[in-house]
Chains A and B, each alone.
Chain A
Amino acid sequence: MKIMPWLCCGMIAYFRIRYMAVADIIKNKKQGQLPSLERRDNRVGIYFLIPAVAVLIMIVAYPVIYSLVMSFHRWRPTDINRDFVGFSNYARVITDSRFSQSIINTAVYALVGACFKVIIGMILALMMNREFKGRSLARVLLMLPWVIPVTASVTTWNWMFDGMYGIFNVILMRLGVIDEYINFLGVRGLALACVLIVGIWMGYPQMMMMILAGLQSIPTEMYEAAKVEGAGPLTIFFRITIPSLANVLSMTILLSIIWTFNSFNVIWLMTRGGSGTHTMNTLAYEFSFVNMRYDLGAAMSVIILIFLAVFLFIYQRKQKED
């Protein structure tokens, strides 16, 4: 029976648009004008937009508004009580001992992660932009971290970092760097560095592909002209490549920060937020599905949204400028 309101809304929206279209035609006819081809196309376009808008409302707007409403109520999956509690969920989240740590971790994870992803992506993209034997194979291999299912690769990384059998410990021990095994994921700070490494490893291929696309759009004549003028590789890189890639790079960095900011699976699969690795996303998940406090999870999500809104605003501005 819950389908009825949706159906009614859809029907009303349809007839409203239909009515506007018909009214427009009548008005134009009265004025002795025929609707232009462009305007008719626009109207048909509007009809085709309806499903997309409906889906967007359902999967984006509705959850956001629902979370917002939830964050101001007592809301637990095990309880039918839904009292309005004002800002107390926000106060509870902000005063949680893990909150400030999660913000610091998120900032480190997003900013350091994004920087390394872009730097590694840039180096590899420059290499992949050159002609050499086996380039196609190299590209495929370099894309693997992005293609392998996250669970599979994280499980492998977990084993490599293992404190009893991990390959890193074995190598470091054999090289004489350590005299006892390191519990990589069980030490504060070190654990965050480990999940950061895995996050960078998984994220660099995407950056590499974006930068590579940017590199391939730079006209080769510019490089040839620079060489004729006697410019060295460094001069070419800083005077031609970087300026030509400026827009691509700024967008790549921004998107990388947003994507890394939203990252959840690597940390959750590797540490469950333990050893001081909680980020804002894992903490929101823990509130909701471990502590069974949807209200706190929703409040945390709204706070995340506010942080992300800053980056989204910069992204929008940048897009408009471009």
Chain B
Amino acid sequence: MHFRKGFAVFAVMILSVAMVFAGGSGESAASDSKSVEVWRISNPDEKIIAAFDQVAADFQAATGIEVSYVLVPTNDFHTKLVTSISAGVFPDVIIWNSNPGIEFANTGKVHPVNDILEEVGMDQFGESIIKMFEVDDVIYEAPFMVRPAGMHARRDWLEAAGYDLTMKTDENGKYYIEGLETWEDLLEAGVKITDAANGKYGLGFPMSRKAFGDSAGFCFSVIASYGGKVLDDEGNLAIDTPEMRAAIQYLIDLWNSGAVPSAATTWDGNSNNQFFLTGDIGIVCNSNSIMGKLNAESAVKPEQLIMLPLPKGPTGHGYQQATPESITIFETANVANAEEFVKYLLNTETQLKMFETMGFGYYSPLKKDVINDPMFADLSDNEKVLLNSGDQYISASFPGEPDARLTQLYSAFFYDDILSHIAVDGWNVDQIIDEMEKVASEMLFS
């Protein structure tokens, strides 16, 4: 009896200890010296999966370091990263397009990549791209590739509305189409091709929190093109400016025009693409996931698609919020392996091999050596427009230096809510500017 009781007590103790151990130690999960854990966005495209898998296999064959990918859905990436970092669990490397290195720089856990980029060749990337990831001369993220975003439009609808869609080139080598150069032109075109009675709408811009990324990106692109900004050069709040007011007024006019379906206030990240592909929307602004889905069987045929150059604002410039996919290394036990892997990813040969497998489209190269490779000489007209817009992509800190607070503001529905206030609440410019100032002041300065 005593033996059994003692045994039971012993078992209970073992269980207790096991449970405590199971609770985790809070230390970084990475400790194996022959592996590296890489988080990246999960993408169902088999070509992209194959390209990344091939890189991992080749890298392991060359170095003996095993790469384990953790695939995270786009919508969950930020939450997963924040909660993991809060719990003290850092991935070795993440490949993502939302400035995580800048956002988490203050934690002291982001490994600078200056040395790696020096080794790869800093001049390969272009100053504006490096600036997206640099704070006080420390570069926190390595530019990898970019998911090119652009205006996908129905060629047949626009032609039927009387547009001549001949692509022209200006003195700076930028493409343009007469009559479709500015945001105002785009709105006019959107109204012309809208046929609401038959369920056809000209413009498919999401105006919803659920379309995180797409709605914020669209709103931010308009504001940047109009010259609006949140902070001035001294870092003070500078929301209430004529430029910002003009941008907000444009967004209000856009909504009131009826060219955007009212359902856009509840769209998720896929909706605008989906409705473009089903033939219900004439123009959508999105990353390039549409081009690859058009074929002879689809409702919209490949020849019915035309990529429009990014529309300009009154500043004479057109921008698109599309932070390049970057590589961030965290200070884990595997930092040396992570550095090796990042160097391997940034290698020109590796990148050419990846593009050979996955093709141009969903990802575009950033390195000059890669862009200038003969592989990219024979692009389609639509692909050329995307490549031509490459230097118009901006981060959430634009026009200033990278600022973690502005990145957070972007992620915190700040721009999505501007659109919601216009579409759902029917607010005017003054109300929206007041709310923007209140929210930004709270988020940036408290």
A residues within 8 Å of B by Cβ? 1-3, 6-7, 10, 14, 18, 44, 47-48, 50-51, 54-55, 58, 77-80, 92, 97, 158, 161-164, 181, 183-188, 271-276, 286, 289-292, 294
The answer to whether B424 and A187 touch across the interface, beta carbons within 8 angstroms, is yes
B263 in complex: contacting residue of A47, A186, A274, A291, CB < 8 Å: A186
A162 in complex: contacting residue of B23, B208, B266, B425, CB < 8 Å: B266
The answer to whether B263 and A78 touch across the interface, beta carbons within 8 angstroms, is no
What's the minimum C-beta distance from A320 to chain B, rounded to whole angstroms? 31
Most buried by A among B106, B108, B424: B424
Please tell me which stretch of B77-85, B154-162, B312-320 contacts chain A, meaning at least 4 of its Cβ atoms lie within 8 angstroms of it: B77-85
List the B side residues contacting A18 at CB < 8 Å. Answer: 9
List the B side residues contacting A164 at CB < 8 Å. Answer: 199, 261, 263, 275, 280
Docked Cα-Cα span, A21 to B424, in Å, equals 67
Docked Cα-Cα span, A319 to B228, in Å, equals 60
List the B side residues contacting A271 at CB < 8 Å. Answer: 209-210, 266
List the A side residues contacting B13 at CB < 8 Å. Answer: 10, 14, 50
B446 in complex: contacting residue of A7, A51, A54, A92, CB < 8 Å: A92
Interface size on B, residues (CB 8 A): 52
List the A side residues contacting B16 at CB < 8 Å. Answer: 10, 14, 50-51, 54
Please tell me which stretch of B29-37, B163-171, B368-376, B405-413 contacts chain A, meaning at least 4 of its Cβ atoms lie within 8 angstroms of it: B405-413
The answer to whether A2 and B408 touch across the interface, beta carbons within 8 angstroms, is no
The answer to whether A78 and B106 touch across the interface, beta carbons within 8 angstroms, is yes
Docked Cα-Cα span, A78 to B268, in Å, equals 27
Over the window 2-25 of chain B, the binary record of Cβ atoms lying under 8 Å from chain A Cβ atoms (1 yes, 0 no) is: 000100110011011101110101
The answer to whether B106 and A79 touch across the interface, beta carbons within 8 angstroms, is yes
Docked Cα-Cα span, A260 to B266, in Å, equals 23
Given A54-B20, A181-B263, A290-B411; A274-B210 close (CB under 8 Å): yes
The answer to whether B413 and A186 touch across the interface, beta carbons within 8 angstroms, is no
What's the minimum C-beta distance from A290 to chain B, rounded to whole angstroms? 5
The answer to whether B86 and A294 touch across the interface, beta carbons within 8 angstroms, is yes
Docked Cα-Cα span, A80 to B9, in Å, equals 42
Is residue B26 contacting chain A, with contact meaning CB distance below 8 A?
yes
The answer to whether A273 and B25 touch across the interface, beta carbons within 8 angstroms, is no
- The 6 A-B residue pairs whose C-beta atoms are closest, nearest first, are A163-B263, A186-B265, A272-B209, A185-B266, A274-B209, A6-B20
Given A3-B20, A44-B8, A186-B424; A80-B108 close (CB under 8 Å): yes
Is residue B322 contacting chain A, with contact meaning CB distance below 8 A?
no
Is residue B423 contacting chain A, with contact meaning CB distance below 8 A?
yes
- With A77-B107, A185-B266, A275-B266 already in contact, 12 other A-B pairs whose C-beta atoms are closer than 8 Å: A1-B25, A6-B20, A47-B9, A50-B12, A51-B19, A77-B104, A80-B107, A186-B208, A186-B266, A271-B209, A272-B210, A289-B78
Using CB atoms, name the residue of chain A closest to B268: A158
Given A51-B12, A272-B210, A274-B420; A163-B23 close (CB under 8 Å): no
Docked Cα-Cα span, A97 to B8, in Å, equals 56
Docked Cα-Cα span, A2 to B28, in Å, equals 12
B23 in complex: contacting residue of A44, A58, A181, CB < 8 Å: A58
What's the minimum C-beta distance from A259 to chain B, rounded to whole angstroms? 24
The answer to whether A289 and B79 touch across the interface, beta carbons within 8 angstroms, is yes
Question: Considering the complex, which residues of chain B in the window 245-269 have a beta carbon less than 8 Å from any beta carbon of chain A?
Answer: 261-263, 265-266, 268
List the B side residues contacting A3 at CB < 8 Å. Answer: 20-21, 25
Using CB atoms, name the residue of chain A closest to B443: A291
List the B side residues contacting A6 at CB < 8 Å. Answer: 20, 23
The answer to whether B103 and A78 touch across the interface, beta carbons within 8 angstroms, is yes
Docked Cα-Cα span, A307 to B420, in Å, equals 30
What's the minimum C-beta distance from A32 to chain B, rounded to whole angstroms? 21
The answer to whether B208 and A77 touch across the interface, beta carbons within 8 angstroms, is no
Using CB atoms, name the residue of chain B closest to A186: B265
Is residue B27 contacting chain A, with contact meaning CB distance below 8 A?
yes
List the A side residues contacting B424 at CB < 8 Å. Answer: 186-188, 274-276
Docked Cα-Cα span, A187 to B261, in Å, equals 14
Docked Cα-Cα span, A292 to B263, in Å, equals 29
Is residue B404 contacting chain A, with contact meaning CB distance below 8 A?
yes
Docked Cα-Cα span, A215 to B64, in Å, equals 66
Question: Considering the complex, which residues of chain B in the window 68-122 have a beta carbon less than 8 Å from any beta carbon of chain A?
Answer: 78-79, 82-83, 85-86, 103-104, 106-108
Docked Cα-Cα span, A197 to B17, in Å, equals 46
What are 6 A-B contacts defined by CB distance under 8 Å? A10-B20, A14-B16, A92-B446, A163-B261, A163-B265, A164-B263
The answer to whether A290 and B20 touch across the interface, beta carbons within 8 angstroms, is no
List the A side residues contacting B9 at CB < 8 Å. Answer: 14, 18, 44, 47
The answer to whether B404 and A78 touch across the interface, beta carbons within 8 angstroms, is yes
The answer to whether A77 and B411 touch across the interface, beta carbons within 8 angstroms, is no
Docked Cα-Cα span, A246 to B333, in Å, equals 61
Over the window 339-379 of chain B, the binary record of Cβ atoms lying under 8 Å from chain A Cβ atoms (1 yes, 0 no) is: 00000000000000000000000000000000000000000
Docked Cα-Cα span, A71 to B438, in Å, equals 22
The answer to whether B261 and A44 touch across the interface, beta carbons within 8 angstroms, is no
The answer to whether A162 and B5 touch across the interface, beta carbons within 8 angstroms, is no
Docked Cα-Cα span, A78 to B102, in Å, equals 10
The answer to whether A55 and B19 touch across the interface, beta carbons within 8 angstroms, is yes
Using CB atoms, name the residue of chain A closest to B212: A272
Most buried by B among A164, A181, A289: A164
What's the minimum C-beta distance from B326 to chain A, rounded to whole angstroms? 17
Using CB atoms, name the residue of chain B closest to A290: B412
List the A side residues contacting B209 at CB < 8 Å. Answer: 271-274
Given A7-B17, A289-B83, A292-B82; A47-B12 close (CB under 8 Å): yes
